[in-house]
Amino acid sequence: MLEFEATTTDGEALTSEIFADSRLTMINVWATYCNPCLAEMPDLGEIATMYEKTDFQMIGIISDVMSDASEDDVNEAKQLIAETGATTYPHLLLNESLYMNLVGAVDAVPTTFFVNQKGELLGYLMGAQAKVTWTSLIEDLLAELEYPRT
């Protein structure tokens, strides 16, 4: 089970309890220097608004901006989030909790994880994807959560 405590770029505290809010949570790990990450963020911003919150939610984790980063580094990340239109979902600053429980296993960015309401890992995908790929995967996972395989 994935557990964490973290702070968003806006200073809001979030914990893994957020998973209980939706049947499916998509966690996109990205970096400010990663062009493929930034290129897919406009689509992710749109996808985050396409579903009822009780069904689906999205969280970003900025893998190269720590929670104790300078104000300039946080502002750079916030500017990139705004420029890419990915303001429709929260972005977490990296800390020890996130690193130890999730990001430390990431070999490349972007890497995206999917978890259920209990915080159980359903799967992950490395690399940037097209909007149609993400929505198809989300639909498949939501259907599987509704009608689990026996």
Q: Which amino acid is at 97?
A: S
List the structure tokens of 40: 């897919």
Encode the chain (150 residues) as per-residue pLDDT tens digits. Answer: 899 999 999 999 999 999 999 999 999 999 999 999 999 999 999 999 999 999 999 999 999 999 999 999 999 999 999 999 999 999 999 999 999 999 998 999 999 999 999 999 999 999 999 999 999 999 999 999 987 665
Give the Cα separation of 102 and 88 in Å (integer).
22
Give the Cα separation of 87 and 121 in Å (integer).
25
135: Cβ contacts below 8 Å, ≥ 6 apart: 47, 50
The number of beta carbons lying within 10 Å of the beta carbon of residue 32 is 17
| pLDDT at residue 91, as a whole number | 98
C-beta separation of 93 from 7 below 8 A: yes
| pLDDT at residue 14, as a whole number | 97
List the structure tokens of 73: 């580094």
What's the predicted TM-score (pTM) here? 0.95
List the structure tokens of 72: 């300039």
Task: Give residue 12's region: left, alpha or beta (phi > 0; psi -120 to 50).
Answer: beta
